[in-house]
Amino acid sequence: MRSMKSRLGEDVELGTFIKFPLVESVELMAIAGFDLVVIDLEHSPMSIESAARLLAMAKALGVESLVRIPSHGYEWVQRSLDAGASGVLVPHVDNAEEAEQLVAAAHFPPRGHRGFGPTTRAGGWAVDPGTDYQQEADNAALVVQIESGEGVANIEGILAAGVDSVFVGPADLSVALGAEPGSPQLAQAGRAVLDAARASGIPCGIAAGTGERARQLVDEGYDFTVVGNDATMLGASAQALAAAFRR
């Protein structure tokens, strides 16, 4: 089985964020044709328990899954990976030291200090002979999010720390730089991250607001994109239906 690390940017190009603690959200995104779901614990009130249920659905459907954790804490990396995530997406990584600490949290000794717990979904609950806990850990992807001027300036060191992928967060990056969305300054910052990642042979993703914009960004060289989220999709569809009725 190919690892999430090797699939990012190849047969995993299109993802979306999941904000509702509903297995049906994951199911619907799989039916819609997304390659990846990102369970969003940073910008939702969802618990790790709810996330674990969504990860089980993703695994059953053969959809890759990342958990966007709410902080850099070791426990979020450990619990997300043990719950069966294909990897973690870590927000606000600004320098090599932070990246090194995350790499250590995501790997077993001697490379890191992740706790060894095969009695979890990632380990097949220690009863599934077809699950190799060590292999599952090696296959998981550590994706760090670049969303500040500091992160852009330190991108080479972040990449050299041993991360598996980087991800540009245009919304936070726009605010951090004081640059308007769609501005040349913002595009230049994203391009600096992309160019450094490509030089290092590491996949680079980016968030997008629409499918059309996501396609454009991949055509420009980004390896994968995460577009929209279940909550906004539902709201936009409902709004359009109501507007059509009341016109």
Mean pLDDT, range 32-53, rounded to an integer: 97
Tally the domains of the chain.
1
Q: Which tokens go with 85?
A: 């995530």
Domain limits at 57? 4-246
pLDDT of residue 1: 61
Percent of the chain clearing pLDDT 70 (strictly above):
100
Contacts of 206 (CB under 8 A, 6+ apart): 167, 168, 170, 190, 194, 217, 222, 225, 226
Q: Which of 43, 72, 92, 107 is catalytic?
A: 43
Phi, psi for residue 116 in degrees, rounded to 5: -95, 110
Predicted confidence band of residue 88 (pLDDT cuts 50, 70, 90): very high
Question: Distances in Å between the alpha carbon of 151 and those of 67, 91, 137, 173, 228?
Answer: 21, 11, 26, 9, 23
pLDDT in tens, 133-149: 999 999 999 999 999 99
pTM for the full predicted model: 0.96
Alpha-carbon Rg of the chain, whole angstroms? 18
pLDDT in tens, 1-11: 678 888 998 99
Question: Using the 8-state DSSP alphabet, how is residue 111 labeled?
Answer: T
Tokens standing for 110?
């001697």
Is there a catalytic annotation at residue 43? yes
